[in-house]
Each structure stands twice: as C-alpha cells, then as structure tokens.
Structure 1
Amino acid sequence: MKKGKLLNSEISYVISKMGHTDSLTIGDCGLPIPDGVQRIDLAVIKGIPKFIPVLQAILEEQLVEKVILAEEIKENNSELNKEIIEILKQEERKSDRLINVEYIPHEYLKQETAKSKAVIRTGEYKPYANIILVSGVTFN
C-alpha cells in the first residue's frame, strides 16, 4: 500500500508524470474543464470535498514553484485567498523555496487550464476557488 498521504491513484499518477513547469489545476464545482484535459472528479455533493483539504493533500506530493489564481478572488473571496497565501507560506518554509503567486483575470485562468495535465474538480461551492499549480524541480 502507498505510504504517502495522498490516496487518490489518478492524482498520484498525474503528479508522478509531471516535469518542470507542467501544471495541475484544482477547481471548484463550477470550473469548466476543457476538452482534451484529464478530468479527476472528486465532487460528491455541494461542498464536499472542500477546496483547501484537496490543495493541502496535493502540496504534500507536488513540488510547486508558482501558482496562478484569478484576480477576482481578492475581492470576491478574500478569506479563501488569505488561506491559500498562508498555506503557500507554510510550504515555502517547509521546502525553503519561494512560490511565485500570479493573479490573472478569471477568463484567462479558465483558458490556462487547457495547458494543465489534469483538472481536479472539488465540491467547493465558493466563487473563484480555483488554482493552477506549476511544478518546480526537486533538484537545485
């Protein structure tokens, strides 16, 4: 049995195949998933699973050098934005690596998901609960 915390085999498989600058998207239940991008649907009912625990589990497995968030999260879901930033700061302290945070308009974020190796759909039911995680490298 797998020793790590992340139990979802599809997510583990996607992360294991990722290289430097490849991306993985975590989205709320309303984020459109482009044709041709692998969909990993975790949504069970409205609100389950929540966005933050999924993000935290993935950050246990994936080394991230950059994240992309919708500019609109700052005004329309500021509490979630603050929570994400705090989690990223914790990751920086654990790994002794900086994580660049980029904000772009939500429409562009939706377009950027087409470049992701996969989009993980959560049951989150709050606006702009979407993030693109860009992989770093484990050697430096």
Structure 2
Amino acid sequence: MKKTPLLNIALSRLVASLGHGDVLMIVDAGMPVPPGVELIDLALTRGVPDFTTVLETVLTEMQVEGHVLADEMFVKQPPALAALEALHASGALGARRQLSHDELKVLSRSAKAIVRTGECQPYSNIALVAGVVF
C-alpha cells in the first residue's frame, strides 16, 4: 500500500505520468472539460470533495514549478483563495501567472488532464505546471 496520502489510482497514475511542463488542472464542478482532454471526475456531491483538499493531496505527489489562476478568482474571492495564497507564499505552487477565465478555458484544451472536484464556489480552478525534482 502507498505511503503517501493520494489513494485514487487514476490520479496517482496521472501524476506519475507527468513530464516537465505538462499541465494538470484541478477545477470546480462547473468548469467545462474540452473534448479529448482526460477527465478524472472526483465529484460526488456539492462540495465533496472540495477544491482545497484535492489540491493539497495532489501536491503531496506532484512537483509544481508554476500555476495559473483566473483574474476572476481575485474578484469573487472564493474560500479556496485563502488556501491558494498560503500555498503560494510557502513556495508549493511555484511562479504565478494570471489569465482571464476565458483564457483559462482555452488553456484547458492543452491540459494533460483535468480533475473535477465537487467544489461549487465559482472560479475555484487552477492549472498546475509540472516541474522536475532534479
């Protein structure tokens, strides 16, 4: 049995398959998933699992060199923003880039995969750019 907190087989396989610069998105329940992009749907019901729990669990296995957020997140300030700011301040999310929500949807077309959470707070979405551990 794995020693790390991430137990979901599909998500663990995905993180293990990432190469430098690959994009993995963690999104709220309303974010559209473009055709052809792998979807790992963890959503069970409203708020379960929540965005922050999924992100923090993914970060136990994924090396991140940067992240992308929508400008609208800073306007609407969903509850997940406080956790994101703390993770960013700790260096766990690498460099930050901001785009409009529409531009984030365009970026999602090139994601290796999208992980859908049960989060129902608008704009609770992040694109993680894979780094390397060496």
Between the aligned partners of 1:73 and 1:119, the Cα distance in structure 2 is 18
Kept in 2, the 8 Å contact 1:77–1:126? The answer is no
Q: 1:89-104 counterparts in 2 under 5 A? A: 89-90=89-90, 92=91, 99-104=94-99
1:24 matched to 2:24? The reply is yes
Structure 1 runs (4+) deviating above 3 angstroms are none
> More helix per residue: 1 or 2?
1
Residue 116 of structure 1: how far off its partner (Å)? 1.0
Deviations 1:49-107 (A, max 9, x none): 100000000011100010000000001125432320202323x2xx7xx7101110000
Within-5 A mapping of 1:1-140: 1-77=1-77, 79-90=79-90, 92=91, 99-139=94-134
- Number of equivalent positions: 134
Structure 1 Cα separation of the partners of residues 78 and 114 of structure 2 = 23
8 A Cα contact 1:28 1:122, kept in partner:
yes
**TM-score, normalization by structure 1:** 0.91
- Contact kept? 2:6, 2:57, Cα under 8 Å: yes
Query: Partner amino acid for 2:115?
Result: I
TM-score by length of 2: 0.95
Paired AA for residue 77 in structure 2:
N
> What's the Cα RMSD here?
1.4
CA distance change for structure 1 residues 62 and 37 in 2, over 3 Å: closer, same or farther?
A: same
Structure 2, unaligned runs of 5 or more? none
Is the contact made by 2:78 and 2:124 (CA closer than 8 Å) also made in structure 1? no
